[in-house]
Chains A and B, each alone.
Chain A
């Protein structure tokens, strides 16, 4: 576990100094929520809200993933990481943990604004949504970390990540939206299927990426 923790602390230290990933994700996510609130003025807010939230989350998440891996490739930091006595799989887990922390932090700040702008209540449901956010984001960054390191090595970089990421995370977004809307309509019975799908998705992709990460980073 030690190498994983070291990579996470390295990422936290960098982020603490420049605050680039967190602030860009937060601002972008808030902008998406605000624009959607204007655009759907007058329509049935409660039905649209879960989708709106997850669109904001996934766009903001892609922004953060792009920053996190481009930073490693740009200054040849990846070379340094590869030379250090860390297994490729641990490197992947460390990056996932770091990405998960920043993305969830930004999302948890976006969430109250989303509640206010959509005139929802601050109650038990908020905790449920926060839980779904955590689980959904885990699936999102589990595959996103791998895909962003792939796209960082191409000529298109920032443009390519959403093209790869959005179709691949379709099950995550759909399950998370479904779980959120079930929770918002106080129907917590049906929520176990989307939540278990999210859990299985994350587990499968973390395991698969753990093994294939070696192929992506090798020269």
Chain B
């Protein structure tokens, strides 16, 4: 029931966000319509960090409680992280080619996202090569925790790289945006957060069923 409400909310939210981003928001003066991808780019970036934090949180909780539900929580958060980081990089590429003239510049923020994606992928490689359930949960718990600690360091170290990324406009001290643009951004952030929550809850249910199937298979095999 909960997931159905989230599903309807995210479907409606995305429809509204698309209307806001493509029709309602005014066209930006220098970048033109291309700037509209920003309304999806920024929420995806925010949620990729949320995913990184949740991987670390789930890992820590598993190490403390030894309850496999937290391991599933971390693993599903990792999957969400891969999807959202990749989607965010994709929107960045679509925007960078016409505006900067290159697909990918070794830009500070871009590199940060690439490293985050690589850490998420490394987490999955590790899960895939640990067949034993308990051991997988334990070692991935440690890796997930260490990976989360890595994020702030990455964030500090990108200051060494040159950046041509537009400066933040919505943070304190930023340039400020048109109120209609700000409204659009909030709508799309809420919509994409609903989508995130919906997919997350669904995936968590599937992960639990998968584990039950795995367990039952082993029981059946043991009886034969």
Cross-chain contact of A216 among B125, B129, B138, B150 (Cβ < 8 A): B138
Q: Is B157 an interface residue (CB 8 A)?
A: yes
* Cβ–Cβ contact A167 & B139, under 8 A: no
Count contacts between A and B, CB distance < 8 Å: 88
Give the interface SS of chain A, mostly helix, strand, loop or mixed: helix
Q: Is B165 an interface residue (CB 8 A)?
A: no
Greatest chain A CB density within 10 A among B121, B130, B139, B157 is at B157
Known contacts A197-B153, A201-B153: does B118 contact A167 (CB below 8 Å)? yes
Q: When chains A and B are docked, how far (Å) is the Cα of A177 from the Cα of B63?
A: 35
Q: Which residues of A contact B161 (CB under 8 A)?
A: 174
Give the shortest distance, in Å, between B137 (CB) and chain A (any CB). 10
Among A157-215, those with CB < 8 Å from B are 160, 163-164, 166-168, 170-171, 174-175, 177-178, 193-194, 197, 200-201, 204-205, 208-209, 212, 215
Q: Which residues of A contact B130 (CB under 8 A)?
A: 153-155
Q: Which residues of B contact A5 (CB under 8 A)?
A: none
* Cβ–Cβ contact A208 & B149, under 8 A: yes
Give the shortest distance, in Å, between A184 (CB) and chain B (any CB). 15
Give the shortest distance, in Å, between A214 (CB) and chain B (any CB). 10
Cross-chain contact of B150 among A171, A197, A200 (Cβ < 8 A): A171
Q: Is B141 an interface residue (CB 8 A)?
A: yes
Q: Is A4 an interface residue (CB 8 A)?
A: no
Question: Mind listing 18 A-B residue pairs with CB under 8 Å?
Answer: A150-B139, A150-B143, A154-B126, A154-B130, A154-B139, A164-B125, A164-B126, A164-B143, A168-B146, A168-B147, A171-B154, A171-B156, A174-B157, A174-B161, A175-B157, A197-B153, A205-B149, A216-B142
Q: Is A63 an interface residue (CB 8 A)?
A: no
Give the shortest distance, in Å, between B18 (CB) and chain A (any CB). 34
Q: Is B115 an interface residue (CB 8 A)?
A: yes
* Cβ–Cβ contact A153 & B135, under 8 A: yes
Q: When chains A and B are docked, how far (Å) is the Cα of A209 from the Cα of B142?
A: 9
Give the shortest distance, in Å, between B69 (CB) and chain A (any CB). 18
Known contacts A153-B135, A167-B122: does B156 contact A197 (CB below 8 Å)? yes
Q: When chains A and B are docked, how far (Å) is the Cα of A143 from the Cα of B122?
A: 15
* Cβ–Cβ contact A215 & B142, under 8 A: yes
Q: Is B174 an interface residue (CB 8 A)?
A: no
* Cβ–Cβ contact B138 & A215, under 8 A: yes
List A residues at the B interface (Cβ < 8 Å). Answer: 143, 146-147, 150-151, 153-156, 160, 163-164, 166-168, 170-171, 174-175, 177-178, 193-194, 197, 200-201, 204-205, 208-209, 212, 215-216, 218
Number of residues in B with C-beta < 8 Å to the partner?
A: 30
Q: When chains A and B are docked, how far (Å) is the Cα of A212 from the Cα of B59?
A: 11
* Cβ–Cβ contact A164 & B122, under 8 A: yes
Cross-chain contact of B125 among A153, A163, A170, A200 (Cβ < 8 A): A163
Give the shortest distance, in Å, between A146 (CB) and chain B (any CB). 7
* Cβ–Cβ contact A174 & B138, under 8 A: no
Q: When chains A and B are docked, how far (Å) is the Cα of A150 from the Cα of B125?
A: 12
* Cβ–Cβ contact B153 & A171, under 8 A: yes
Q: When chains A and B are docked, how far (Å) is the Cα of A156 from the Cα of B125?
A: 10
Cross-chain contact of B146 among A174, A194, A212, A218 (Cβ < 8 A): A212
